[in-house]
């Protein structure tokens, strides 16, 4: 299991970060899940756009470049939405709706993933 921290002050944001690297894991994403806890998230590699079709709940999305620098933040993305490509993004972290605001994330901030 991995975790997510804010690099600047080492504040832990997520204690349960799953990583989707394979094609199948990236394709499935959070589909067929009923909810996320505040400390859960999914990090989807090689991804700069997503959709929320067939999802049951809203999510927050954190788009990151190759250095894990925040490129775009999307809060409270409802089911059946499409987010078009975020240029410069290499991955996205999907987490419980409301976490971006609760963590007070900002564009350009660098995150850290550990195990």
So what's the pLDDT on residue 33? 87
So what's the pLDDT on residue 97? 98
Residue 8, exposed/middle/buried by CB under 10 A (0-12, 13-18, 19+)?
exposed
Give pLDDT < 70 ranges for the chain: none
- Mean confidence (pLDDT) of the chain: 95
So what's the pLDDT on residue 27? 75
So what's the pLDDT on residue 26? 81
pTM confidence score: 0.94
So what's the pLDDT on residue 24? 83
Three-state DSSP class for 72? strand
Q: State how beta strands 82-83 and 50-51 pair.
A: antiparallel
Residue 38: closest CA among 79, 99, 115, 93: 99
Taken in order of first residue, the domains within the chain and their CATH numbers are 2-114 (2.60.120.1140)
So what's the pLDDT on residue 108? 98
So what's the pLDDT on residue 101? 98
So what's the pLDDT on residue 76? 97
């Amino acid at each position: 299991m991995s975790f997510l921290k804010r690099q600047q002050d080492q504040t832990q944001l997520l204690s349960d970060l799953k990583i989707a690297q394979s094609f199948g894991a990236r394709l499935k994403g959070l589909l067929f899940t009923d909810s996320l806890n505040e400390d859960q998230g999914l990090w989807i590699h090689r991804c700069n756009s997503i959709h929320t079709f067939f999802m049951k709940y809203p999510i927050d999305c954190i788009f990151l470049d190759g250095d894990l620098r925040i490129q775009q933040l999307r809060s409270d993305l409802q089911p059946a939405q499409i987010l078009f490509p975020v240029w410069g993004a290499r991955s996205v972290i999907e987490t419980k709706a409301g976490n971006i605001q609760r963590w007070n994330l900002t564009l350009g901030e660098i995150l850290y993933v550990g195990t």
